[in-house]
Amino acid sequence: MNILPIILAGGSGSRLWPLSRTALPKQLLSLLGRKTLLQTTMKRVMQLHPAEKPIVVVGEEHRFLAGYQLDIIDQLDSVDILLEPLGKSTGPAICGAVNYVVKYRGEDTLVLVLPSDHSIDRNDVFVQAVKDGIPYAQKGDIVTFGIPPTRAETGFGYIEQGADHKIVSFKEKPDSMLAETYFADGKHLWNSGIFLFHAGAFLQELARFSPDMVSIMKTAIEKGRKDDCFFRFDAESMRNVEDAPIDYALMEKTERARVLPVELGWRDLGSWYAIWEELEKDESGNVCRGDVLVDNVKNSLLFADNKLMAVIGHENLLVVDSGDALLVSATSSAQDVKKIVKRLKKARREEWLNRNFSSRAWGSYVVLEKKENCIIRKVFIHPGMKQSLQKHNHRVEHWVVVSGTAKIRCGDKTKLYCENQSCYAPAGVLHCLENPGILPLVLIEVQVGDYLGDDDIIRVDPDS
């Protein structure tokens, strides 16, 4: 029987601040190599044979970036992308996606739900574990996969297993003493957050314990709408749904839950310590990225952005520079980074939300400098894409082509610009940037004026 993967790609990844933020979360970052975590997860599920067309659930604000990343690995036409207009927990996300499956694929579909921010070394074991779970799922059980712990970890939830793979209980993230007990007793497994089930049986069981969630998310699908290659959940419905994790909404209450222990070489990439564990280290146990110099430093993670980082005489240290923010922490405090993010959010600091990055349908941009009367941005335009035709009343714009070829309309003239050439658009003049080539277009954009707000962007033809 075919298996339909549902990849959960929402969330902000606050424990990986300052690189991961609400506007650019960890699942869309290349933290481990050239591919992002979403791309790596998509490649993994494509090893399931036979597999149904996968579904990716992502926040609406990340739709263009997620779509572009899937397009790069030639998977955009092979997936359905479901958009959450509001950030909710795993309960509504999974419930909505399964309602979508029942409506458009059929209630007898076998569904595999997995997060997009995990690392699995042994993909062959993963594929076999899914196959081992199929008989349970076909009987109507809800299967999850437990990871035998390799240490007393306080950053993961635990599952207490009983006879015949039944689940005795779910345990929240424990303190250090309780984690030591779980690690030693042989009865507890790390909760991977990966599930396998029959779509119709799942909704039927979820309706026993969270009937409102099932009803509301069914309405969110019925009132949802197709938009290009995306499907949007109905926003009004999602405002009314309980913000509950699937463990609380269902798994802790049902008697149909089963756990299969499996050693996948699994890691939840939810903290900087987990990233340090995952990446290759030098002879002193250090993970260094960027322009980093060390002297007498051991077992540390050091990420530099666009300037030299020099560290002397430290052990077990996390230093992450994102350009606009710097994190310095002991590795033992890696789980507490989210506390800093909460304080930033409470203080209404922009640094919790974004790192001067924004994605658009045509590409993306990074703000390099922002003053009262001047904004400098590095603009990336995908091959074959263009911005809307627009003008401004209170600013002028200058562009310098860094790489690629730009086709720029300015007033009634359209001209091609190559590397190291520039163009200028006065206030009040219609203009449009386009990438006519097959390579990415990179420009430096300088905006100068007495008012630089977004409401001074006057789009003449938003679809152009």
The pLDDT value given to residue 50: 62
Instruction: Please give the distance of CA 243 from its chain centroid, rounded to a whole number.
Output: 19
Please compute the mean of the pLDDT values over residues 79-105 and round it to a whole number. Answer: 95
User: Does the pLDDT of residue 136 top 90, yes or no?
Assistant: yes
Strands 422-425 and 357-359: unpaired
* pLDDT (tens digit per residue) in 239-293: 999 999 999 999 999 999 999 999 999 998 989 999 999 999 999 999 999 999 9
C-alpha angle with apex 435: 364 to 375, nearest 5 degrees?
Answer: 45
pLDDT band of residue 154 (cuts 50, 70, 90) is: confident
Question: Given this model, what pLDDT does residue 350 score?
Answer: 86
Determine the pLDDT at residue 463.
47
pLDDT digit string, tens, across residues 322-363: 988 999 999 999 999 999 999 999 999 988 887 788 888 899
Percentage above 90 pLDDT, the chain:
80
pLDDT at 127: 92
pLDDT above 60 for 371:
yes
CA distances from 393 to 169, 175, 231, 426 (A): 62, 58, 36, 9
- Domain 360-461 in the same topology as domain 3-268: no
| pLDDT tens digits, one per residue of 282-309 | 999 999 999 999 999 999 999 998 899 9
What's the pLDDT at 103? 95
Element (H, E) at 237: helix 235-240
Residues counted in the chain: 464
Domain ranges within the chain, ordered by starting residue: 3-268, 274-346, 360-461
Confidence of residue 377 (pLDDT cuts 50, 70, 90): very high
Q: Is the pLDDT confidence value at 46 over 60?
A: yes
Q: pLDDT digits over 156-193, tens only?
A: 899 999 998 999 999 888 888 999 999 999 899 999 99
Into which CATH architecture does domain 360-461 fall? Sandwich (2.60)
CB-based contact 4:54 (threshold 8 Å): yes
**DSSP annotation of 248:** I
What is the model's pLDDT at position 355?
76
More confident residue, 426 or 454: 426
3-268: which CATH topology? Spore Coat Polysaccharide Biosynthesis Protein SpsA; Chain A (3.90.550)
| Structural contact between residues 153 and 190, judged by C-beta atoms closer than 8 angstroms | yes
Backbone angles phi, psi at 17, to 5 degrees: -65, 145
Chain mean position to CA 235:
20
Q: What is the pTM (predicted TM-score) of this model?
A: 0.87
Of 111-120, 359-368, 381-390, the one with minimum mean pLDDT is 359-368
**Residues linked to residue 381 through DSSP beta bridges, in sequence order:** 363, 441
Q: Give the lowest-confidence range in 114-118, 223-227, 355-359, 417-421.
A: 355-359
133 sits in which H/E element: helix 123-138
For residue 376 the two structure tokens come to: 């400098």
Q: Which residues pair with 259 in a beta bridge?
A: 144
Helix axes 90-104, 199-209, angle to 10 degrees: 140
Q: Indicate whether 413 pLDDT > 70.
A: yes
Output the average pLDDT for the chain.
93
What is the predicted pLDDT for the residue at 353? 84
Please report the pLDDT score of residue 464 as a whole number. 41
**Lookup: tokens for 30:** 């290349």
Query: Does the structure show a pLDDT above 90 at 310?
Result: yes
The mean pLDDT value for 73-101 works out to 93
**Residue 461 pLDDT more than 80?**
no
pLDDT at site 462: 52
